[in-house]
Amino acid sequence: MAGPLSGLKFVEMAGIGPAPFAAMMLADLGATGVRIESPVQRLAFPGPEFDITRRGRTSMNLNLREPVELATALELIDAADLLIEGYRPGVMERLGLGPQSAIGRNPKLVFGRITGWGQDGPYALRAGHDLDFIAVAGLLAHLGRRGQPPTPPQNLLADYGGGAMLLLVGVLAALWESQRSGLGQVVDAAMVDGSALLTSTMRTLTAQGLWSPEAGVNILDTGAPFYDVYPTADSKWLAVACLEPAFFAEFVSICALDPKWLEIQYDPAYWAELRTAIAEVIATRTQDAWSETFAATDACVAPVLTMDEAPLHPQMAYRRTFLTVNGQVQPAPAPRFSRTPTSFNTD
C-alpha cells in the first residue's frame, strides 16, 4: 500500500547529514525521489552501501559542470514538486540550479534548503558542525552534569532534531500552501534556528523561575535524583524518570525506600541524600532484574540499552521498531499511519 506522500515527487542534491535524512523520511512516507550525485566528487561519508539514509530512492550520477547533464538535472526538477539541498548558500546558484532558475521554470516548486547558519547573516558562508550550532543557539551550555564541561550529545540535536526535522516541517508546510496558491517558495531551514527552537520549554521554565542557568542542577538535567541514571550490580545502567508524585511513590514503594521522601521529593536541599539512597538500592541488583521488576509498573524506570540491545527490548520487538535488511539492522519508518502505512524499498 502507498504511504501518505504517495504521488509526491522530489529531487535531492546528494550530501551528508540532515538533507539525506530528510529525504529518507520523505521516501519512507511514500514520496518518489531521485538523488543527484556527482560522479567526480565523492562525499566524505564512507560506505554508501551501508548508509541507511540513502534508502527508498534512486540515484543518478550527473556532472553538473557539463551542459547536457545540467539540462538533465533541470528536467528532473521541472517534473518535481520539491527539491531539497544542503549546500552552503550560493552553491546551487553557481551551478545554475538556484531558486530563481528552478522556480522560474517550475512555478509550483518548493525549494528546501538546509544549512547550519542559514541563507543570510554574517556567518552564512562559514563552515560549521552540529556542535557549533548548538553552542551558539544557547543549548550546549545547559547539557551536562553540575561542575562538568558541557557534554556534546553526538550530532543529534542540530543536524537532525533542529535541522532535518525543521526542514521536513518547512517543506511539507510549503507544499500544503502551494496546493491553494499554485506557487512554490524557498524554505530556509537553519540548524541554529531549529536548535534555538528546541529550547522553548527550557526558556518557559526560566521565565517562571523554575530553571537555573547552571547545568546539572535542574529537574530535567540530572539535577534531580529522580531523573537520572544509576549503575546496576552488573555495571550496566538504569534510567530513573519518576518525575510526578504518583510515579515517584510507586518507585519508592518498589525500592523499599523511606516513605519520608514522598513529602520532600521536590526540595533540592535533600536531593544529594536522596540520590545516595537511590544509588545504593539500584546497585544491589542487575539491570535485567530491575527491568523485570519495573516492566509492569508506572515507576518510569527503563534499562539503558545499547544499539545492539535495543531491538531485543520487548516493546521494540513487538512494534518492529527495527528491521534487518540485507543483514543490517536499521530503524523502521516512523511515524505510523492507519490507512496509508509507511514502507521502504529493500532492494
From the number of C-beta atoms within 10 Å of its C-beta (0-12, 13-18, 19+), residue 182 rates as exposed
List, in order, residues 6 or more apart from 252 with CB less than 8 Å away.
258, 259, 261, 262
So what's the pLDDT on residue 41?
A: 73
Residue 45 in this model has a pLDDT that exceeds 90: no
**Catalytic: 308?**
no
Residue 345 in this model has a pLDDT that exceeds 70: no
- 347: pLDDT confidence band, cut at 50, 70 and 90? low
So what's the pLDDT on residue 44?
A: 59
So what's the pLDDT on residue 344?
A: 74
Rounded distance between C-alpha atoms, residue 5 and residue 337, angstroms: 11
Long-range Cβ contact pairs of 261-266 (< 8 A, separation 24 or more): 265/226, 266/219
Residue 202 in this model has a pLDDT that exceeds 60: yes
- 57: pLDDT confidence band, cut at 50, 70 and 90? very high
Whether 346 contacts 325, CB under 8 Å = yes
Q: Of residues 28, 159, 188, 221, which has the active-site annotation?
A: 159
- Mean pLDDT for all residues in the chain: 95
Smallest CA-to-CA distance from 197 within 264, 265, 138, 256 is with: 138
Helix (H, G, I), strand (E, B), or coil: what is residue 310? Answer: helix
Residue 286 in this model has a pLDDT that exceeds 90: yes
* CATH numbers and ranges of domains, the chain: 9-197 (3.40.50.10540), 227-303 (3.30.1540.10)
Residue 50 in this model has a pLDDT that exceeds 90: no
**Catalytic: 142?**
no
So what's the pLDDT on residue 39?
A: 85
Expressed in angstroms, the distance from the first to the final Cα of the chain is 17
So what's the pLDDT on residue 343?
A: 80
So what's the pLDDT on residue 311?
A: 97
Smallest CA-to-CA distance from 184 within 109, 106, 78, 99 is with: 109
Over range 160-169, report the average pLDDT: 97
Pick the range with the lowest mean pLDDT from 208-222, 266-280, 333-347.
333-347
So what's the pLDDT on residue 49?
A: 78
pLDDT in tens, 287-331: 999 999 999 999 999 999 999 999 999 999 999 999 999 899 999
So what's the pLDDT on residue 56?
A: 93
So what's the pLDDT on residue 298?
A: 98
How is residue 167 annotated by DSSP? H
Q: How far is CA 187 from CA 52, 254, 263, 298, in A?
A: 25, 51, 50, 42
pLDDT in tens, 92-139: 999 999 999 999 999 999 999 999 999 999 999 999 999 999 999 999
List, in order, residues 6 or more apart from 188 with CB less than 8 Å away.
113, 115, 118, 119, 170
Whether 13 contacts 19, CB under 8 Å = yes
